[in-house]
Amino acid sequence: MPRRLVIILGPTAVGKTDFSVTKALEYGSPVISCDSRQIYKEMTIGTAVPEKEQLERVKHYFIQTIPVTQTYTAGDYEREAITLINKLFEEGHDTLVMTGGSMFYIDAVCEGLDDLPDGDPDLRKSLWERVDSEGLASLVEELEIRDPQTYSRIDKNNSQRVVRALEVCLVSGRPLSSFKSGGKKRDFEIEKIGLTRPREELYSRIDKRVLNMVEEGLEDEVRSLLPYRDLQALQTVGYKEMFDYLDGKIPLEEAIRLIQRNTRHYAKKQMTWWRRNNSISWIDLH
């Protein structure tokens, strides 16, 4: 029987965790997370880490394994995830379950990335200083000139990704898009299952999830991360808005509204990204 990796993807709050646990139990597989934020130890509530009962039912990998102070890229994830996948296959698994909503992580596993150049801390610092002084739009405009392909696909409101893309361009003299091999051969089959719901139902689930996060202590979690607020890991929906609240810039009710709105926007971007992929089999959970 050929080795197979089943990737369960979909927008935030669609129900990937429950679905993946069910599939993992069916296949006798662990769950390999491909979420670029749940991997951080200190980010629990705001990233909707699987509940304790779910983690106890099925072994999960890449959940809260590194500190927010550690820089971690899609290239790092590709190397570690492929190593783990091959190890689990060698141990006797014939079907493995992977799940998450991080588009770049999924693409890295499926298509591969060339090794990116090492980062330049001084250059990165100067780029972040430009974000503060000139605004993100200035860096986005430069990225359009240096790397039109990445510009056309990147989330132009995601300062972390824009800074990283420009950093690669400036360090290497090559556009980030040129490092995407898009053709690495995997010695296992890949099956993609996309989960979806009607828009209003999904948006309702997102709004309720945000309210639950606040009730569970999102404010205290974000407060504990104030010393690290400028790190890449924390340039994330849910944390940025709560930082503004803690700074006294907006009331709590406005922070909640913005988190809900920005999460809905992110879900829309996820679906736009994946709708262009004809290899995904879609399941409507409604």
Domain check: are 12 and 106 in the same one?
A: yes
Domain check: are 222 and 285 in the same one?
A: yes
User: What confidence score (pLDDT) does residue 181 get?
Assistant: 57
Domain check: are 4 and 47 in the same one?
A: yes
Q: Which residues of the chain have pLDDT under 50?
A: none
Which of 179, 212, 227 terminates a domain? The answer is 179
Domain check: are 149 and 70 in the same one?
A: no
Domain check: are 89 and 198 in the same one?
A: yes
Asked if residue 47 lies in contact with residue 37, where contact means CB atoms within 8 angstroms, the answer is: yes
Which long-range contacts does 278-284 make (Cβ < 8 Å, 24+ apart)?
Answer: 279/192, 280/9, 280/192, 280/193, 280/194, 281/191, 281/192, 281/193, 281/194, 282/193, 282/194, 282/195, 282/196, 283/193, 283/194, 283/195, 283/196, 284/196, 284/197, 284/198
Domain check: are 47 and 109 in the same one?
A: yes
Tokens linked to 95: 């079907």
Asked if residue 94 lies in contact with residue 4, where contact means CB atoms within 8 angstroms, the answer is: yes
Domain check: are 79 and 147 in the same one?
A: no
Distance of CA 245 to the CA centre of its chain: 24
**Which residue range(s) make up the domain with 131?**
121-179
Tokens linked to 193: 């299952």
User: What confidence score (pLDDT) does residue 153 get?
Assistant: 80
Q: In what order do the strands lie in the sheet with 280-284?
A: 60-61, 31-33, 95-100, 4-9, 189-196, 280-284
DSSP 136: H
User: What confidence score (pLDDT) does residue 180 get?
Assistant: 65
User: What confidence score (pLDDT) does residue 161 get?
Assistant: 81
List the one residue out of 27, 60, 165 whose CA is nearest residue 104. Answer: 165
Tokens 């890229």, residue? 73
User: What confidence score (pLDDT) does residue 279 get?
Assistant: 93
Distance between CA 95 and CA 181 in Å, rounded? 25
pLDDT single digits (tens) 225-267: 999 998 888 989 999 999 999 999 999 999 999 999 999 999 9
How many distinct structural domains can be found in the chain? 2
| pTM of the entire predicted model | 0.83
